[in-house]
Amino acid sequence: MPDSSPILRADRLVKRFDSFTALDGLSFEVAPGESLGLLGVNGAGKTTAMNLLLGLTTPTSGTVEVFGMEFWEHRTEILRRINFSSAYTNLPSNLLVWQNLLVFARLYRVPQPKQRIDELLELLDITHLRKSVTGRLSAGESTRVNLAKALLNQPRLLLLDEPTASLDPDIADRVRKLLRKLQAETGISILYTSHWLG
Ligand SMILES: Nc1ncnc2c1ncn2[C@@H]1O[C@H](COP(=O)(O)OP(=O)(O)O)[C@@H](O)[C@H]1O
Ligand SMILES: [Mg+2]
For 133-184, write each residue's pLDDT tens digit: 999 999 999 999 999 999 999 999 999 999 988 888 998 998 899 999 999 9
Closest ligand to residue 44's CA: 1
Q: Is the CB of 86 under 6 A from ligand 1?
A: no
161/25 Cα distance (integer angstroms)? 20
Helix or strand (DSSP H, E) at 156 = none
- Give domain limits for the chain: 1-81+156-165+187-198
Closest ligand to residue 86's CA: 2
For 48, other C-beta atoms within 10 Å of its C-beta total 19
Strands (E) across 18-124 are located at: 20-30, 35-39, 61-66, 69-70, 82-86
CATH architecture of 1-81+156-165+187-198: 3-Layer(aba) Sandwich (3.40)
Q: Is the CB of 50 under 6 A from ligand 1?
A: no
For CA atoms 186, 187, 192, 198, give the dihedral sign.
positive
For 90-129, write each residue's pLDDT tens digit: 899 999 999 999 999 999 999 999 999 999 999 999 999 9
For 71-82, write each residue's pLDDT tens digit: 999 999 999 999
Question: Measuring from atom 3 of ligand 1, which residue has the nearest CA?
Answer: 17
Point out the ligand 1 atom lying closest to the alpha carbon of residue 161.
Answer: 21
- Helix extents (H) in 36-107: 46-53, 75-79, 97-107
* Pairing between β-strand 20-30 and β-strand 8-17 as defined by DSSP bridges: antiparallel
126/121 Cα distance (integer angstroms)? 5
Question: Which of 72, 14, 52, 66 lies closest to 161 in space, CA to CA?
Answer: 52
